[in-house]
Amino acid sequence: MIHRHRIRVRYGETDKMGVVHHSVYPLYFEEARTELMRALGFAYSQLEREGTLFPLTDIGIQFKRGARYDDVLELQARLTELGPVRFRVDYRMTLLETGELLATGFTRHASTNVELRPRRLPAQVRTAFSEALEEDSRE
């Protein structure tokens, strides 16, 4: 399952050269991942209230071309790995108007309790993630 999310670049996200600052890309990834989770039926805020956190354990970004102020970006977020305690989401960022690839990346997360101790993914989350991965394998 590929979740598509659109973001319009705000002026404050750009640097002196007029391009999106590299530190903003993880925020874009987070927004796309949050909406992917919502599309799978889970709000991060609800999971946190129930005592499950998904701290970031690894991130990678490959920049192709900088986005600029007022560009509309399409982020594709897709779950690509799933373990009992960990998962990975891959990202693809394109310029909506042309489809030009701007960046790719990934994030890995661990499932923890509020004390940041590892815990198995909640059953309903694991089931939804598994179904999303199965859907991808059929496409």
| Residue from 26, 9, 137 nearest 67 by CA | 9
Domain annotation for the chain: domains and CATH numbers: 2-138 (3.10.129.10)
Task: Report whether 7 contacts 28 (CB < 8 A).
Answer: yes
What does the alpha-carbon distance between residue 49 and residue 76 come to, in Å, rounded to a whole number? 27
Quote the pTM value.
0.92
Indicate the helix (H) or strand (E) that contains 113: none
Q: What is the phi/psi pair of residue 131, to 5°?
A: -65, -40
pLDDT in tens, 101-111: 999 999 999 99
> What value does the mean pLDDT take over residues 94-107?
98
Name the residues annotated as catalytic: 15
